[in-house]
Amino acid sequence: MKKIIRIRNLDCAACAAELGEELGEIEGVTAASADFINQRVVLEYETEEALEKCIDTISHFEEVEIAENAPVKRERHLKETLSIAVSAACFVPALVLELLGGYDLASLLLFLAAFAAAGWSVVWNVVMNVPRAFRNGFHALVLLDENLLMTVAAAGAFAIGQNMEGAAVMLLYEIGELLQSIAVGSSRGAIARLMELRSDTAVRLTADGQEEVEADSLAAGDSILLRRGDRVPVDCRLTEGATSFDTKSLTGEAYLKEASAGDEVLAGCVNEGAAVTAEVLRPVSESAVAKILEMVENSSSKKAKPEKFITKFARIYTPVVVLAAVLVAVLPPLWQGYNFTVWLGRALNFLVVSCPCALIISVPLTYFSGVGTLARHGVLAKGAVGLDALAKVKTAAFDKTGTLTEGAFSVKAVHGDARALVLAAALEHSSSHPLAQAFEGVEAPRAAETEEIAGMGIKGVVQGKRVLVGSARLMAREGVPVEEGDGRSLFVYVAEEGNFLGSVEIEDALRGEAAEALAALKREGVERIAVLTGDSEARAREALRGLPVDELCAGLLPEEKPLRAQALRGQGALLYVGDGVNDTPVMAESDVAVAMGGLGSDAAIEASDFVLAGDSLSALPKAVKGAKRTRRIVFENIAGSIAVKIALMALSLFGFIPLWAAVFGDVGVMLLAVLNSMRMRARL
């Protein structure tokens, strides 16, 4: 069983990892993760008793509160701001009195007041961790978090007479925590803005007139009214009228999309023209908006290798540096005249600087910002793993029909006996192949005993006679001689009782953005572009004329496509873009799979790592650019944070920096890493 529990006040990535670990150790829990960015806990459990224990653990974890079904909201930070203001109001006059001299008691009391105002919540969290440690069989690592590090550092400073530094430690730490919380809250705000894609109400048309209903109550087949300014509540098809829709929130494209009767419109778009009526195609739970929200919210559960490394690193690193600080405080004085005060100060500096906040916060924040940025451009990422893989792509392979072409087939001409069109329509009406849509408007008798031959065509019985409809290969296999077309167009051949009747010429236009999208992919570092198709080579080359395609793999049967994908992977990390059920085996063989969101099948979307929400290939180069930027920023933060930390720790050991400077350096590194992460939100 699976359950998602909404929470509040989980504002620390290290605490989230710790909470997830505690929940995972509960008997009956098979998987648990705490997401401090989306403010939720995801549980997989076997018994209700295990769930109850999880809820109890969450309720007793620091300041975390359960807020079931509560949406992600932007924090106001009033409590933190007030604490910092009171602390600063005490700290400044205390500092003045200390500089003047002769007011030792007054300055001490004010410094203690500044410490209490800024650090009461930190100390309280340390106190609350003690029963948690005993509840876990005295799991000492539960106590070793940043709250304990800062409490020990501040208390130690007061103990050795460094009152100003003791208060400064907590004041600077709280300022850093506030700024960090604001930065993380800004990313949470991106989720809150995505929630605005949803429309809670809709105007349903009935025999009695209009009625305003909840969008969740709409079912397939319902008729709805879309007025000017209305956000489309569900995926639907226009039945009357013509208008234009703002699709920017879904696709990232600023232009308006014109639509008229018969056109499909995705949920989340805004009607910018005249009022129109539409038929509901899918309920809210299956709409494009639902997919966007679900994928973005679930993305943080699929962690990339750097995220997993940082989590494991912090778990080992914190107790190691605490032990190192203890050794620094105890061992050197034994050889230097038992001068414990000096080395205790250096140990405290070392302890403060060693706090791994910059890494623990900035790495997941960067990936989350990357997922959110791609979503704003119409690309839905299922997780950080996909972003990392996309950044390494060297070869891109595409399905042709419905991916590089519009996938909107229509009859261009009929050659030979005119009955060929009617017989072809009779069999194609029972087919799920994309070509079947070309015959949707053709009236034809019902076919019986139909059987599809993968990659070739379909056969069946129409009005008592055996009919074959499909490619020239099917006709050759069945021993029917045909008059083949010029090879540059798509022909569907028709035979009745073993006799060739004629052919139907089908057309499918190339996507308008395909050429620029593929060229942009190459500019982003994709070295090779291939197309995998079941069409003949001559027809595929004609259809793809003008595209920068390096390798055309034509005439492939469905079972041959995955084998070809395996060969392409030998040329570098492989990206595959497709739209149909038959693409899922190829997606499974690729390093990164991308599905077309609007036209794409549910199977293709399920098998993919990314979904193009607006079916626009122009979003694909932006996704590659965003993935590379994300990976670059992650490694900048890891390398930069570790390098600065090592330098500051060395300076602390040699006594070159005071305690307040150590705190300032620690907070500064964390803020720089977070601000660097926020660069992901810049436009691609």
Residues 6+ apart with CB under 8 A from 418: 502
Query: What order do you get walking across the sheet with 256-260 strand by strand?
Result: 256-260, 242-246, 270-271
Cite the DSSP H helix spans in 218-304. Answer: 248-251, 288-298
CA count, 13 A, side-chain hemisphere, 6: 8
Question: What is the distance between the alpha carbons of residues 495 and 474, in angstroms, rounded to a whole number?
Answer: 10
Question: What is the distance between the alpha carbons of residues 295 and 375, in angstroms, rounded to a whole number?
Answer: 9
Question: What is the distance between the alpha carbons of residues 428 and 459, in angstroms, rounded to a whole number?
Answer: 10
Cite the DSSP H helix spans in 444-501. Answer: 472-477
Active-site residue list: 399
Largest Cα separation within the chain, whole Å, is: 114
φ and ψ of 244, to 5 deg: -130, 145
Name the β-bridge partners of 259.
Answer: 243
Helix (H) or strand (E) holding 229: none
> Which amino acid, residue 27?
E
Q: What angle do CA 647, 651, 653 make, to 5 degrees?
A: 120
Cα first-last separation, the chain: 39
Query: What order do you get walking across the sheet with 65-66 strand by strand?
Result: 29-35, 40-45, 2-8, 65-66
Other CB atoms within 10 Å distance of the CB of residue 584: 19
Q: What is the 3-state secondary structure (H, E, C) of 47-70?
A: CHHHHHHHHHHHHCCCCCEECCCC
Question: What's the sign of the alpha-carbon dihedral 315, 316, 319, 324?
Answer: negative
Helix (H) or strand (E) holding 515: helix 514-523
Question: What is the distance between the alpha carbons of residues 592 and 388, in angstroms, rounded to a whole number?
Answer: 10
Other CB atoms within 10 Å distance of the CB of residue 190: 19
CA count, 13 A, side-chain hemisphere, 387: 39
SS3 138: coil
φ and ψ of 380, to 5 deg: -100, 120
- Rounded to the nearest 10°, the torsion over CA 308, 309, 312, 313 is -150
CB 141 within 8 A of CB 319: yes
Question: What is the distance between the alpha carbons of residues 595 and 579, in angstroms, rounded to a whole number?
Answer: 5
